[in-house]
Amino acid sequence: MAASPSPEAQEVAALLGREPTGRYEVVVRDAAGAPVVIRNEPIMDDGRPMPTRYWLIGAAESRAVSTLEGGGGVRQAEAEIDPALIADAHERYARERDAAVPADWNGPRPSGGVGGTRRGVKCLHAHYAWHLAGGDDPVGRWVAAHLPPR
């Protein structure tokens, strides 16, 4: 008989809208203790690479960032942030993620930077998640500055 998922695992699955496909750790919680950001292992349980190291799962935070994205936030962030700073963030994110790949791993590896992006901004959610988890992300800082006060 399989063990029941922990309450935290059930909460993460509910926030994701599905069961996670790899190992993760909750690294940011809200004031009530609910998960806001998870840090994914770089290799999923089935051996596929997971490029998104930090994932924004908090319901309120995800909605707020979706509203910002829907209002043209990706284009605005790219226009306002030095592309060299964004490129540097992608490189540092990739180095951190890649350092977590097991040394003996011979399968496919994740690629790209924040959220799997090689350059520019694709997903404000991924940048904001890394920022909330303590990453030095200029796009994440930009998102934080442009979200409505809570």
- Give the DSSP letter string of 114-150: GGG-SSS-S-HHHHHHHHHTT---HHHHHHHHHSPP-
Model pTM score: 0.94
Residue 51 confidence (pLDDT) = 86
Secondary structure tally for the chain: helices H, strands E: 6, 3
Residue 134 confidence (pLDDT) = 97
Domain boundaries, the chain: 7-146
Identify the H or E element spanning 36. strand 35-40
pLDDT mean by block of 10 residues, the chain; 150 residues: 80 93 95 97 96 95 97 97 97 96 96 91 96 98 92
Strand order in the sheet with 24-29: 24-29, 35-40, 54-56
